[in-house]
Amino acid sequence: MEFYPTPGVASSSSFAGATLVIAVASHGNVGQLACDLLVQRLRARRVGSLDHPSLLPCVGGDAFGRARGDGGALAMSAEVYEVGGGGTSGPRRTILVQQRAEVRAGSQRAFASAVAAWASASAFHETVVLASAPSTAAGHGKGATAQIGATVVRHVLASAVAAAVDGAKEEEEGDEGRREGRFEDARFQAAGAVALERSTLTRDRRAASSLPPWSLLRAFHDDAAGKGNGKTSCVAVLALCSEGDNTADAVAVAAAAATALGLSRGDDAAEEGGKGEGEGWTAPASWAAAYGQRPTARAMFT
């Protein structure tokens, strides 16, 4: 994994101590949409891009179309944005990675390992993964949450994914009470993101070890364990959804992540609040063409 800074950004820029928020190309694209919303709302500054042999080439017009600042940049396969860190009154320095391109077939594990290794080498304080999964993956056992009629945001720690895939003792029947405290993050729970049902991961352990976002979470866990740093924080915020217009799901995921991490929009973004799909959120300019440039019956996509 290689980081390429934008012109004017030092190639030796350090991310040490920052929070990493990374979107994953997964079912329904909710993570990518949520990342777009965060970049737009926080007016994050683009500082570079990431490249990896397994990441398919991708280029497009500026996703945000800003009239000032860093507007006009081409959209790339994996873009890196920065916000905060300017003082004690602002939000903690946060690096947002927007993955716009798919990963080459058969390379999900290798790509996930490369991302985890890059994050580890960059010395991020913690990692938050924005993602989504098929609504059919929802658990149906004890504690399962209904999927129809509402957006239910969930969160899951990387350690929980690893335990489910490995069939660790913590996932055995009868240990439910002791597992809850270890596999939940109180910040995300308070932000309205409920803990992901264990059955979502245990129903298909093969998929949970090789498909996004599970493959990325497992890679972060394994990287931390290999370095003897089992306390490294990595948590995913996700929505279980279907394909289609997932704007509402994206707003919910972005809001939960922003609340849990204490991120607030800048003054310019605050002036634009209330014009998007959710209160205080503004849709990026590129979303205007999500259903094509010409007027089309929205019913076709629902």
* pLDDT tens-digit map of 1-44: 999 998 888 766 789 999 999 999 988 899 999 999 999 999 99
Residue 146 maps to a domain? yes
SS3 250: helix
Structural domain includes residue 1: no
Spatial separation of the C-alpha atoms in residues 93 and 124, rounded to whole Å: 10
In a domain, 4, yes or no: no
Q: Is 53 left (phi over 0), alpha (psi -120 to 50) or beta?
A: alpha
Least confident of 44-53, 108-117, 221-230: 221-230
Specify if 8 maps to a domain.
no
Residue 298 lies in a domain: no
On whether residue 27 sits in a domain, the answer given is yes
What is the predicted pLDDT for the residue at 264? 73
Range of the domain at 92: 16-290
φ, ψ of residue 119 in degrees (nearest 5): -65, -40
Which CATH number characterizes residue 35's domain?
3.40.50.10900
- The model carries a pTM of 0.83
- Order across the sheet with 19-23: list the strands: 2-5, 45-51, 78-83, 94-99, 19-23, 126-134, 233-241, 153-157, 194-195
Q: How many residues does the chain have?
A: 302
User: Which has more pLDDT, 67 or 247?
Assistant: 247
Q: In this structure, is residue 5 part of a structural domain?
A: no
Q: Name 61's Cβ contacts closer than 8 Å, sequence gap at least 6.
A: 74, 75, 286
Alpha-carbon distance 150 to 172, whole Å?
Answer: 30
Total number of domains in the chain: 1
**Is residue 147 a contact partner of residue 240, using CB atoms and an 8 Å limit?**
yes
Residue 296 lies in a domain: no
